Amino acid sequence: MNETILEIYRSIANRLILQAAQGLRGQAKSSLDDFELFRRTLIEPAWNQLPGTLKSMGRDALRWEDVMRDLVVELFVARPDGKLVMRGDAAEQLDRLVERVMAAPVVPSAGQPVAMAMPVMAAPIAPVAPLVARPVAASVAGPSELWPGTPAPKPVMAALITPPTASPIALGIDLGTTYSVVAYLDSAGRPTTITNAAGDLITPSVVLFDDEGPVVGKEASMAAPMEPDRIAVCVKRDMGAKEYRKPVNGVRLPPEVISSIILKSLLNDARRRLGKDIAKAVITVPAYFDELRRRATIDAGRLAGIEVLDIINEPTAAALAFGYQSGFLDPTGKAKLDRPMNVLVYDLGGGTFDVTIVEIHGNSFKALATDGDVSLGGKDFDEAIVEMAASKFYEQHREDPRKNLSCFMEMWNAAEAAKKTLSERAKATLYVNCAGKRLKVDVTRDEFEESTGPLLARTRTTTEIVLRQSGLTWGQIDRVLLVGGSSRMPMVGAMLRELSGKEPDRTISPDEAVAHGAALYASLLMKKAAVQSGPPAFSITNINSHSLGIVGVDTTGRMRNQILIPKNSPLPRTITKVFKTNKPNQAAVLIRVVEGESERPDACIQVGVCKIDNLPPNLPQGTPVQVSYAYHENGQLEVTGQVAGTDAVRTLFQRENQREDEQIAKWSGYLDSMRD
């Protein structure tokens, strides 16, 4: 089989790898240590240029990561001025490298080696249509998981799939607003991103409700301009709400249901890739998510058939990935810290924004302060480009393309691409098509940065607030770590450089770091569950991003929020307070739980209620009522209320927009019917 792969490299892949490697010419020698630059410049461009038939074989079968690991050292040398140049015999060196890798024994990343059936090709293979993130093929999933009309898998794919077996593997899932990522720990304990069916590391968090069933990912995103009424995007922003913001295919769906379809697609990608019937996962959430949104995320996982081990804050997960990459989790202690390291994690994703300061001391990760905005992210920066383009189109044609839903969706896709271009170049071009009219729109980086200046200023203000809340100064911050795809924008780095006086750290992948940290945490939980001997690999101390209070009546008769667990309290946290009944012969006590910093209940978010009823008659005014809050590490809350001198105890906490088990079962049945 290695001879087959070797021939594929010689006839096709080597040429594409050498072409992509040209992008490193002239780079500083120090760039060899920049893994993100290496991945962006070489690994992914070369992979993306491979014919679809080859990509469908998978990275493990092609030993892609093994080849790429030693590639730069083999192909490049440094000039006296420190710049990289390609060796004159680079082609021969690459050929020898591939031979050496293929001769090495295969160490499968998980489970059994992947079987493969691919004929030797002496000429380039004609590309095939990319696979899409539909539910997995029948050789992996049962018939109930297939959409009607889904074609049988191609023979080459059938040969590549190992039937599922019971799996001790747990996944780390970054369920993003615009893109999602799934990762696991390989056999060497390294966090590894799992590619989707199209061979991509990240999956667009877009769902198309096709007649044959939901489609997730790139195909759904491409279909958005043509079928906008069937598309659901940015669902994460609606988590915790009763319904998604608009009907999809004529149906009002809870956000958890749509998110569960994305999670199911990621789960199926992992099962197909690893050949195991994986069910356990840790799912990430923005640090600034409130209790309702956290609960909704767990429910989405349940609907997807995932055993949710826990949820973890995204900045904390990124700090874990940074700690692993820096060697702080090495059990041999090779990278010991002489003193605690304070890391500010600036996480600007597609739809949410978080800032968290994490203290790393040995293998201990302790969050000190956090804040954020669940309605600020890359999509808002895209919107600025959409508005600029729509305005120019209207000036030219007196037609507003934003009023045509198909044109509007197409503009969003073009705006996102233009934003990414502006991170690399000073000007980007997009084309607006509407009502038979067409306009070429040029957007400069200066124009873009001027129009989005207020958005960036909001992230700056939040960063300053978090630093102040932590009690630290910029001189006490050791690293400013950038996470989230939108953090690539040059103005983000420039702002943080000016604000902190430090060079922002881009050493971890902004797209993959959160999923990698979640995978590390999932592995820790699995080891704890298995009661494995030895000290834990690391410990995490989380904090709450919102104060938790109770609504009561003060001595003036005014409704007031009394905070029981202040913001940025280390978790877990349990507190008990005694209140008094408000009037004589009170028949029931209503405990209203709110999140927020204001004394005014109407300025806070009501999390839920806990009602104690059937109180004994003739209960005097001022009877003590004991209220206990238990706030867990993952941000989940339990509430207990007890009236002194009675048997009246209430532990059932009814959350706002909470899905009862019966509702979960109902929506689970709905999803199953879509798969039948």
CATH of 156-332+511-528+664-675, one of 3.40.50.300, 3.30.420.40, 3.30.70.920, 1.10.8.60: 3.30.420.40
Residue-level pLDDT at 80: 65
Fold of the domain built from segment(s) 548-658: Substrate Binding Domain Of DNAk; Chain A, domain 1 (2.60.34)
pLDDT in tens, 448-468: 999 999 999 999 999 999 999
Bigger pLDDT: 68 vs 108:
68
Record the pTM. Answer: 0.73
> At 372, phi and psi to the nearest 5?
175, -165
Residues shown for the chain: 676
Residue-level pLDDT at 648: 64
Q: In the chain, what percentage of residues exceed pLDDT 70?
A: 76
Q: Residue 486: pLDDT above 70?
A: yes
Can you list the alpha helix ranges (DSSP code H) found in 326-478? 378-397, 405-422, 445-451, 453-470
Bigger pLDDT: 109 vs 383:
383
Q: How confident is the model at residue 166 (pLDDT cuts 50, 70, 90)?
A: very low
Q: Residue 250: pLDDT above 50?
A: yes
CA-CA-CA-CA torsion sign (235, 241, 243, 245): negative
Pair type for strands 364-373 and 353-361: antiparallel
Residue 513: count of CB within 10 angstroms of its CB: 32
Q: Residue 135: pLDDT above 70?
A: no
Beta-carbon-side half-sphere exposure of residue 489 (alpha carbons within 13 Å): 29
Residue-level pLDDT at 159: 27
Bigger pLDDT: 334 vs 548:
548
Pair type for strands 427-434 and 559-565: unpaired
CA distance 96 to 383: 49
Q: How confident is the model at residue 121 (pLDDT cuts 50, 70, 90)?
A: very low
The domain locations on the chain are: 2-103, 156-332+511-528+664-675, 548-658
Bigger pLDDT: 68 vs 558:
558
Average pLDDT value over all residues in the chain: 81
Bigger pLDDT: 578 vs 150:
578
CA angle 284, 289, 295 (to 5 degrees): 75
Q: What does the pLDDT average to over 81-104?
A: 71
User: Which range, 124-138, 208-222, 498-512, 650-664, is most confident?
Assistant: 498-512
Catalytic sites, residue numbers: 174, 236, 314, 347
pLDDT in tens, 213-222: 899 999 999 9
Beta-carbon-side half-sphere exposure of residue 108 (alpha carbons within 13 Å): 10
Residue 666: count of CB within 10 angstroms of its CB: 11
pLDDT in tens, 330-377: 776 666 777 899 999 999 999 999 999 999 998 899 999 999 999 999
